[in-house]
Structure 1
Amino acid sequence: MRTLAIDTQRFKIAGEGFAISRGRRTHAEVLKVTLTENGKTGQGECVPYARYGESMDSVAEQIKSAQTALEGGLTRQNLQDHLPAGAARNAVDSALWDLEAKLSGKTAAELAGLAPLKPVTTAFTLSVNTPEKMAQAAAEAAHRPLLKVKLCGDGDDERIAAVRANAPRSRLIVDANEAWNSGNFDRNMDACERAGVALIEQPLPADNDGLLAEMERNVTICADESLHPGEDMAVLRDRYDAVNIKLDKSGGLTEALKMLQRARDLEFQVMIGCMLGTSLAMAPAFLIAQSADFVDLDGPLLLAEDRTPPIRFEGSTMFPPPPALWG
Structure 2
Amino acid sequence: MKVSVRKRFIALEQPFRVAFGTISGLDVVEVEVSDGDVIGRGECCPMGIYGQDADSTLAEIEAIAPRLASGELDRLTLQGAMPARSARNALDCALWDLEAKRSGRSVWDVAGLRAPGTITSDVTIGIMSPEATAKFAATLRDASMIKLKLGGEADLECVAAVRSVLPEVPLFVDVNAGWTLERLNLLSPRLADAGVFMIEQPLPPQDDHLLDEYNHAVSLCADESCHDRTDLDRFVGRYDYVNIKLDKTGGLTEGLALAAASQARGFRLMVGCMLGSGLAMAPAYVIASLCEVVDLDVPLIVKDRADAGVHHDGRRLHRFTAELWG
Q: Same fold (TM over 0.5)?
A: yes
Please state whether the residue corresponding to 2:148 is helix, strand or coil: strand
Choose 161-170 or 249-258, whichever is displaced more: 161-170
Gapped runs of 5+ residues in structure 2? none
CA RMSD, aligned part only?
Answer: 1.6
State the Cα distance separating 1:183 from its structure 2 match: 4.3
Partner of 1:301: 300
Per-residue CA shift, 1:153-189, capped at 9, x if unaligned? 5421111111121222321111000111144223321
Per-residue CA shift, 1:189-245, capped at 9, x if unaligned? 133112101211001111123342233434221011222325240221111111111
Partner of 1:36: 34
* Aligned partners of 1:142 and 1:169 also within 8 Å: no
Partner of 1:209: 208
Distance 1:115 1:13, change over 3 A: same
Pick aligned residue for 1:51 from 49, 63, 83: 49
Please state whether the residue corresponding to 2:13 is helix, strand or coil: coil
Alpha-carbon distance between aligned partners in 1 of 2:308 and 2:241, rounded to the nearest angstrom: 33
AA aligned to 1:322 is T
Superposition map of 1:150-229 within 5 A: 150-229=149-228
Partner of 1:314: 313
Choose 123-132 or 183-192, whichever is displaced more: 183-192
For this pair of structures, how many residues does the alignment match?
325
Alpha-carbon distance between aligned partners in 2 of 1:55 and 1:123, rounded to the nearest angstrom: 27
Partner of 1:239: 238
Partner of 1:63: 61
* Aligned partners of 2:297 and 2:312 also within 8 Å: no
Partner of 1:77: 76
Higher helix share: 2
Distance 1:183 1:116, change over 3 A: closer
Gapped runs of 5+ residues in structure 1? none
- Normalised TM-score (structure 2): 0.95
Alpha-carbon distance between aligned partners in 2 of 1:225 and 1:308, rounded to the nearest angstrom: 25
Partner of 2:131: 132
Per-residue CA shift, 1:7-49, capped at 9, x if unaligned? 111122113x111111112123211101122321111110001
Distance 1:187 1:232, change over 3 A: closer
AA aligned to 1:219 is V
Per-residue CA shift, 1:228-264, capped at 9, x if unaligned? 3252402211111111111000000000111001101
Alpha-carbon distance between aligned partners in 1 of 2:68 and 2:116, rounded to the nearest angstrom: 29
Partner of 1:111: 110
